[in-house]
Amino acid sequence: MEDEYSDTKTSQHSIKEAAFRLPSLQLQSGTILSNVNIKYATYGRLAPKRDNVVVLCHALTGHPLVHQYWDAFVSRAWTDRYFIICTNILGSCYGTTGPCSIDPNTKKPFGPTFPFVTIQDAVKAQKRLLESMEIQSIKAVIGGSLGGMQTLEWALLAQEEPHMNIQSIVPIACPSQHSAWQIAFNELQRQAIRMDPLFCNGYFDPDSPPSQGFSLARQIAMVSYRTHQAYVAKYGREKHSGDHRMCRHSVENISNDSVPFLVQSYLHYQGEKFLSRFDVNSYMTLSHMMDSHDVGRGRGGVGQALNSIKQPALVIGVDTDVLYPVVEQQELARGLPNATLKILNSKHGHDAFLLEQKRISDWTWEFLQKI
């Protein structure tokens, strides 16, 4: 089964990585974060008129180096025409201020004391970055999953805080608000982490992190990202084989006297691989951020909020998405006054927005030529 994130990919194009320091950021909760660092990467060249900007918003465990997991959007065609920017979301662990960052008051990492942040907070920080670059117009804001939720907030925030023209948005595999179904999956993952005795309410020893609970959380997520069809087609009832590239790891934790099934080894592989590339407290922070997603909060409800987004929107759903069912993208498209709906037929479920990115990139390219 393909990996949705591959850190081994290399870009054919020049990438510029940088960081922006925001002196302070007032969150929706009223809390003020000081010295906010925003890590970002850019692809392509900014036009003299600064009017060829495309913002890519990454998903839950993504990062600014888009070529490593969404390379179809930074191909030569894209970077020759557009200046593409992706920022690490607030609360993450890839360079932007989050639980791993040093609290200026205690001189220690925030850890579990990092304040609650919303998607609107995250987008506001991104908007400040672009303002610092004297960018006043964005051709499109594009994102899948948590990234798709950000695209909606970008359009809404541009109304509430003028001086930024958002010409179009492309929300992919996301809803207008997080449902009880999605909150339930996130809570299962958080409970898996909390039940690890090493978690210690987030105050864990960095040398002894809650690896078992965190690995289990990732395994739960991986099931929700895929489909019955994909799992059966790829693994069936095959048994573990040591020479399988995704199974070259210890299977001691699989409590069965018989040889474990291949799908068990796959899940353990995904869980173990994840431990080295993400922070536990950032995962908790961002999962709560996603659960708070509701474009209608403070805006008169979902219907009124969506109706206020007048920009052209390309809404993309996946017909087999278990986590964010296509009915949610259909509702989103109905609520947006100027929306086009595309449904991707795929066996991969939610992760199709990464695994079948070429088709999505092609649809988006065609859409932007009409803007």
Q: What is the pLDDT of residues 61-101, one digit of tens each?
A: 999 999 999 999 999 999 999 999 999 999 999 999 999 99
51 catalytically annotated: no
Which one is catalytic: 291, 350, 351, 361? 350
In this prediction, residue 246 carries a pLDDT of 52
350 catalytically annotated: yes
Range 347-371 burial, b when 16+ CB lie within 10 A, else e: bbbbbbbbbbbebbbebbbebbeee
Q: What is the pLDDT of residues 145-173, one digit of tens each?
A: 999 999 999 999 999 887 899 999 999 99
Q: What is the pLDDT of residues 232-266, one digit of tens each?
A: 999 999 887 665 555 545 445 555 555 589 999 99
pTM assigned to the model: 0.93
Segment 346-356 mean pLDDT: 98
Strands 83-87 and 32-43: antiparallel
265 catalytically annotated: no
What span, in angstroms and rounded, lies between the C-alpha atoms of 22 and 37?
6
Average pLDDT of every residue of the chain: 94
- Of 16, 29, 18, 15, the closest CA to residue 132 belongs to 18
Question: Would you say the C-alpha torsion 294, 296, 302, 305 has a positive or negative sign?
Answer: negative
- Of 269, 262, 256, the closest CA to residue 238 belongs to 262
In this prediction, residue 50 carries a pLDDT of 97
In this prediction, residue 48 carries a pLDDT of 97
Q: What is the pLDDT of residues 312-347, one digit of tens each?
A: 999 999 999 999 999 999 999 999 999 999 999 999
Assign 10 a pLDDT band (cuts: 50, 70, 90): very low
Q: What is the pLDDT of residues 30-46, one digit of tens each?
A: 999 999 999 999 999 99
Which one is catalytic: 101, 145, 224, 287? 145
Segment 282-311 mean pLDDT: 98
Domains of the chain: 15-179+299-369 (3.40.50.1820), 183-282 (1.10.1740.110)
Which one is catalytic: 321, 346, 351, 361? 321
φ/ψ of 121, rounded to 5, equals -60, -45
The strand order across the sheet containing 339-344 reads 15-26, 32-43, 83-87, 53-57, 140-144, 169-172, 313-318, 339-344
